[in-house]
């Protein structure tokens, strides 16, 4: 099989490429990134990407390229929107024009659910979407566009709503990575306080290795036109994450609020149900959050 | 008061400018269009539009610029998306940066509701949005972005979901105008058959003069962050519209299906409730569909 992966050399892409190589050693992987090895192009350039798709005609296209930071989307809403929704629309147009049989994995986000009531938890795929950040709006639009291309143009798209990822190599724009880095610095005496935004928020964290295994399963056996939560099914507050990092590092720092990390509108509770993907594909998480956090801590310890 | 109107020299804009001039003769109206009189610029150029907003700092900004044809959005999804969602996002960014006190009227579409069940009619603002065309997705994203800019950035935005417009001067890309034009041609012997897409669809048609009166009322008294249907509240099938044009023109043509006008996915039933705007603002439609159709017929009769 031939895979085309956008944003392949980002955090998730590097794990996905490893997972594909392990499952299917004969697979061909074509990568597209703005920088780095492989094809280099800006996905906002529809003609350039269409030419690549026409040349490669992959069996699978996994679209990972994204400005995926919610926080950054509040600072640069236009860039966030274009580098989520517009690049995805270009991906779909290129596939529609040049390789309509290609199966596309559309990676969405738990942020699409937006502000939810406690009674709605755990979030199922049928829950209404009430996006509250520029990033979340962009992801909802992406999912809607995918539906239009399935129903109106006959493309073969499987969509996800992926919850928070955890794993070594993630940018410290994301909270778990930022905390792991700070704990590594604290343990080495390179900082004295832990800086964080809102600690009360509850999130559903999933090890990146479980994430990419779900993506491989969805490409192979997901149903066309369907959307699947990719999540652990377990809600954990940032206060709990901090306590787990304290246990791992042996450090008990003073916690101070970094106003720059507090967002204009925040989803307090985000916990998903993974019943749909579990029942459809037999996928279940394999890595505990404790193991994931330890891996993140070790990663940063080796780098600070 | 100073008004800034994008797409001011389009179909709706010309009626809106007349309505404002009538209600408020001392009003200043600044217009922005891609072509024509007034300021000329492409709303995809954020810097140029921001400079204009900084210079004018209007009390009201009415965003009418749009590629508003659903049919065209199936042929050019990227252009449709950019010239709806991306230009609206630029409008919001310009206002946020340069004139955050400006009240913005965000004009959306009944297409946002998508495919609906008969039991959901008439459509209320609380109905779920299930967009099924590229244009509809773009309008939903626009509305979501408006919500984010209200809640996250404190802007003053009032939104509409405007149903089908009727009136002289509308492009014949839109069904009523296309039918009126064909009946005028039929009456003069300039064509022999009526060509149409799907005649079974039911729509809620509102005279453009009632539309712009609603917009003026919403600017003056609509509630910040709220969305309002702008509609007649009455469902009419295209078969009925054809019968009305037959009565007006005295012509009873053979009807043939034009495959090019049939869309990949079609919303069969679109009928709104105008209870919310009626109760909040005392707005009610003043023009009957019969009068509107006659005006459209007369317009085309004078031009063919």
Region B183-205: mean pLDDT is 94
- Answer yes or no: do A137 and B153 touch at CB < 8 A: no
Which residue of chain A is at minimal alpha-carbon distance from B152?
A: A264
Residues of A in contact with B86 (CB under 8 A): 81-82, 86
Chain B (263-302) residues lying within 8 Å, Cβ to Cβ, of chain A: 263-265
Q: In whole angstroms, what is the distance from residue A142 CA to residue A159 CA?
A: 10
- Answer yes or no: do A151 and B132 touch at CB < 8 A: yes
Nearest 5 degrees, angle CA A116-CA A264-CA B94?
A: 120
Residues of B in contact with A227 (CB under 8 A): none
Region A151-155: mean pLDDT is 97
Region B144-162: mean pLDDT is 98
Residues of A in contact with B144 (CB under 8 A): 131, 137, 140-141
A1 pLDDT above the threshold of 90? yes
Question: B96 vs chain A: nearest CA distance in angstroms?
Answer: 11
Residues of B in contact with A76 (CB under 8 A): none
- Answer yes or no: do B148 and A137 touch at CB < 8 A: yes
pLDDT digits (tens, 9 = 90+) for B267-296: 888 999 999 999 999 999 999 999 999 999
> Model's pTM, two decimal places?
0.94
Which residue of chain B is at minimal alpha-carbon distance from A83?
A: B86
B206 pLDDT above the threshold of 80? yes
Closest CA to B158 of B109, B107, B233, B113: B107
pLDDT for A183: 98
Chain B (147-176) residues lying within 8 Å, Cβ to Cβ, of chain A: 147-148, 151-153
pLDDT digits (tens, 9 = 90+) for B107-116: 999 999 998 9
Transcribe chain B into DSSP letters.
-EEEEETTTSHHHHHHHHHHHHH-TT-EEEEEESSSSSEE--TT-HHHHHHHHHHH--SEEEE------HHHHHH-HHHHHIIIIIHHHHHHHHHHHH-TT-EEEEEEEGGGGBS--GGGPSBPTTSPPB--SHHHHHHHHHHHHHHHHHHTT--EEEEEEE-EEE-TT--TTSHHHHHHHHHHHHHTTS-SEEEES-SS-EE-EEEHHHHHHHHHHHHHHPPTT-EEEES-S--EEHHHHHHHHHHHH----EEEE-GGG--SS--SB--B--HHHHHHH-----S-HHHHHHHHHHHHHTT-
Instruction: Report the complex ipTM.
Output: 0.92
pLDDT digits (tens, 9 = 90+) for B48-81: 999 999 999 999 999 999 999 898 999 999 999 9
The least confident of A1-5, A151-155, B259-263 is B259-263
Instruction: Label residue B189 exposed, middle or buried (CB < 10 Å: 0-12, 13-18, 19+).
Output: exposed
Residue B22's region, left for phi above 0, alpha for psi from -120 to 50, else beta, is alpha
Percent of chain B with pLDDT over 90: 90
Residues of A in contact with B145 (CB under 8 A): 77, 81, 134, 137
- Answer yes or no: do B148 and A133 touch at CB < 8 A: yes
Of the partner residues B86, B131, B148, the one whose CB lies closest to the CB of residue A144: B131
pLDDT for B267: 80
The H or E element that residue A258 is part of is none
Instruction: Give yes or no for A126 touching B (CB within 8 A).
Output: no
Q: In whole angstroms, what is the distance from residue A285 CA to residue A99 CA?
A: 33
A142 pLDDT above the threshold of 80? yes
Residues of A in contact with B114 (CB under 8 A): none
Q: How many CB pairs under 8 A join A and B?
A: 93
A261 pLDDT above the threshold of 80? no
Domains of chain B, first to last: 2-165+207-230 (3.40.50.720), 166-202+235-271+287-301 (3.90.25.10)
Percent of chain B with pLDDT over 70: 100
Residues of B in contact with A85 (CB under 8 A): 81, 85, 141
- Answer yes or no: do A86 and B89 touch at CB < 8 A: no
Instruction: Give yes or no for A10 touching B (CB within 8 A).
Output: no
- Answer yes or no: do A93 and B74 touch at CB < 8 A: no
pLDDT digits (tens, 9 = 90+) for A60-79: 999 999 999 898 999 999 99
- Answer yes or no: do A134 and B128 touch at CB < 8 A: no
pLDDT for B14: 97
Instruction: Give yes or no for B189 touching A (CB within 8 A).
Output: no
- Answer yes or no: do A132 and B148 touch at CB < 8 A: yes
Chain B (192-251) residues lying within 8 Å, Cβ to Cβ, of chain A: none
Identify the band that residue A15 occupies on the pLDDT scale cut at 50, 70 and 90: very high
Return mean pLDDT, chain A: 96
Region B182-191: mean pLDDT is 97
Residues of B in contact with A90 (CB under 8 A): 78
Residue A133: both structure tokens together:
């950040």
A197 pLDDT above the threshold of 90? no
Question: A98 vs chain B: nearest CA distance in angstroms?
Answer: 15
Of the partner residues B81, B89, B138, the one whose CB lies closest to the CB of residue A78: B89
pLDDT for A84: 97
pLDDT for A7: 97
Strand, coil or helix: A29: strand
Q: Given the structure tokens 């012509």, which residue do they identify? A: B251
Percent of chain A with pLDDT over 90: 90
Instruction: Give yes or no for A109 touching B (CB within 8 A).
Output: no
Yes or no: say if A204 and A163 are a contact pair by the CB < 8 Å rule: yes
- Answer yes or no: do B81 and A93 touch at CB < 8 A: no
Question: B150 vs chain A: nearest CA distance in angstroms?
Answer: 10
Which residue of chain B is at minimal alpha-carbon distance from A153?
A: B264
């Amino acid at each position: 099989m031939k895979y085309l992966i956008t944003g392949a050399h980002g955090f998730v892409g590097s794990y996905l490429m490893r997972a594909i190589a392990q499952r299917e050693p004969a697979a061909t992987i074509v990568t597209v990134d703005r920088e780095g090895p492989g094809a280099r192009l800006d996905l906002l350039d529809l003609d350039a990407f269409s030419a690549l798709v026409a040349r490669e005609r992959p069996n699978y296209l996994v679209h990972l390229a994204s400005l995926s930071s919610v926080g950054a989307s509040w600072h640069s809403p236009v860039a966030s929107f274009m580098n989520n929704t517009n690049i995805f629309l270009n991906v779909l147009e290129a596939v529609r024009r040049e390789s309509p049989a290609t199966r596309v994995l559309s990676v969405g986000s738990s942020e699409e659910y937006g502000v939810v009531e406690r009674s709605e938890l755990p979030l199922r795929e049928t829950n209404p979407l009430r996006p509250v950040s520029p990033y979340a709006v962009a992801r909802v639009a992406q999912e809607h566009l995918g539906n239009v291309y399935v129903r109106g143009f006959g493309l073969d798209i499987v969509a996800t709503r992926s919850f928070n990822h955890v794993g070594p190599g993630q940018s410290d724009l994301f909270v778990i990575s930022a905390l792991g880095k700070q704990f590594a610095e604290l343990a080495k005496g390179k900082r004295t306080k832990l800086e964080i935004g809102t600690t009360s928020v509850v999130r559903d964290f999933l090890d990146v290795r479980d994430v990419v295994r779900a993506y491989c399963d969805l490409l192979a056996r997901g149903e066309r036109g369907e959307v699947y939560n990719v999540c652990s099914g377990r809600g954990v507050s940032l206060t709990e994450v901090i306590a787990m990092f304290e246990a791992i590092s042996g450090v008990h720092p003073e916690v101070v609020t970094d106003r720059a990390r507090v967002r204009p509108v925040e989803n307090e509770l985000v916990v998903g149900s993974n019943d749909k993907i579990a029942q459809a594909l037999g996928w279940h998480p394999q890595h505990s959050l404790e193991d994931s956090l330890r891996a993140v801590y070790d990663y940063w310890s080796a780098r600070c």
